[in-house]
Amino acid sequence: MSASSDVRTARRSPAAEAPSGVPGWLVALLAVASGMTVANLYYAQPLLSALSDVFHVGTSTAGALITLTQVGYVLGMLFLVPLGDRLEKRNLITVLLTVTTLALVAAGLATSFPMLLIASLVSGATSVVAQILVPFAASLAPDHARGRVVGRVMSGLLTGILLSRTLSSLVSDVAGWRVVFLGSAVLMALLAVALRVALPEHAPTTTIPYHHVLRSTVQLVRTHPVLLRRGLYQAAMFGAFSAFWTTVSFVLTGPRFHYSAVGVGVFALVGAAGAAVAPFAGRWADRGLVRPMTGAAFVVAALAFAVAGFGGHSVVLIALAAILLDMAVQTTLILGQHTIYQLDADARARLNSAFIATFFVGGALGSQLGSLVYHSGGWTSLTLLGAALPLLALGYWATERAAGRRGGRRAARV
């Protein structure tokens, strides 16, 4: 069954008479599922101090848990997400969520730190289910409503990222760190069953061998310059996002504000307000406003760091900066995905793989560089770095039309 036939089937059902052409309950399920799976990457961040004490390892060693989870996610993006074009998606999602469940159980029952590291690597790799669900939603939606549907699903994913630290802090404070992982394992098992029942069958869009699928992912970057461009845009934005959220906890727990670990987790709820922009970003994309709203988002991100820099002594201004930054990052992410999904309807999983992997590297670099800059130069230096990244993207964005005109002239000569 093809994606188009799925959409036709959905349109015939009474529940699917929404303008998006996809049942509202299905969009909501995909949004919740995306948020729940991507949250697995961030649960451990507030737990590092407790894990360091439990397993008798240093703080730098405990930090390797976060790094290895992120490495697993990158590996999953490169080697598992492209399978979304090669295999039937519902079966692939079921298998990956089953493995995620087992890995989280192993993490929750870990008796040694190496066991926890291995379990986190595996759960990080298979949590890329979120990045299979987003192109799945894009394939189900008709062209005129694709941006709105992707925006709604992405709002769930981004809310999961922002709320995961808060949830982890609160649960571990009440019931212990093991319950965080075991509780997520239960959620993943329930999610596997729910998606298995609710999702329509979605046939593969290609039959080429797996190694050719991986090779074709690289070729897509060469074939579609806009894919690399949007990936670099988002790498700059996600780098700024990661730099902010990696270091703001040091500010809040420091002598200026004296927040507890739970207090930092609660502060992260502020950023969730930025998820409200996701549906609007989808509508902007559907109306053909991708380019102007991308430029506007870069400006808003830079202004967010200006607010954070001037408001270093005010938690209200830092919170305002967090909201502005999250809104800007989510806007460029949704506009970017809307753009790349139009490049090749038969390769959306591979396009998403290349796009996410590109900007995820930017996020990792931003997190590391942000930590170094903060510890060497303080919050003011961090905000200057954060503002510089979207401004660099804005400079690159200014070349977009010139690059398009040159490409058009080359095509005309051919």
Quick check: 386 and 370 in contact, CB under 8 A? Answer: yes
Whole-number Cα distances in Å, 338 to 20, 233, 352: 15, 14, 10
- Pairwise CA distance, residues 274 & 323, whole Å: 5
Amino acid at 207: T
Amino acid at 278: A
pLDDT at position 33 is 94
pLDDT at position 21 is 66
- For 91-158, the DSSP string reads HHHHHHHHHHHHHHHHHHT-SSHHHHHHHHHHHHHHTTHHHHHHHHHHHHS-GGGHHHHHHHHHHHHH
**Domain ranges, ordered by start, for the chain:** 19-413
pLDDT at position 208 is 81
Using the CB atoms, write b or e for 102-124: b if 16+ within 10 Å. bbbbbbbebeebeebbbbbbbbb
Write out the H or E segment, with its range, that includes residue 278: helix 278-286
pLDDT at position 409 is 44
pLDDT at position 404 is 53
Whole-number Cα distances in Å, 272 to 142, 244, 325, 330, 366: 28, 14, 11, 11, 20
CATH architecture type of domain 19-413: Up-down Bundle (1.20)
CA atoms 393, 395, 397, 403: torsion sign: negative
What does each of the 414 residues of the chain score in pLDDT, given as a tens digit? 444 444 444 433 433 344 556 788 998 999 999 999 999 988 887 787 788 889 988 766 776 787 788 788 888 988 898 888 888 889 999 999 999 999 999 999 999 999 999 999 999 999 999 888 888 888 888 877 777 888 788 778 878 887 887 888 889 888 999 999 999 999 999 999 999 999 888 778 778 888 888 888 889 999 999 999 999 999 999 999 988 987 887 788 778 888 876 787 778 778 777 777 878 888 899 899 999 999 999 999 999 999 999 877 889 999 999 999 999 998 999 899 889 988 988 888 788 888 988 887 888 788 778 878 888 899 999 999 999 999 999 999 999 875 555 544 443 332
3-state SS assignment for residue 206: coil
CA atoms 202, 208, 214, 215: torsion sign: negative
- Tell me how many degrees the CA angle 376-378-382 measures, rounded to the nearest 5: 95
- Pairwise CA distance, residues 4 & 141, whole Å: 9
19 phi and psi angles, rounded to 5 deg: -60, -25
Can you read off the two tokens belonging to residue 381?
């230096």
Cβ atoms within 10 A of the Cβ of 78, count?
A: 17
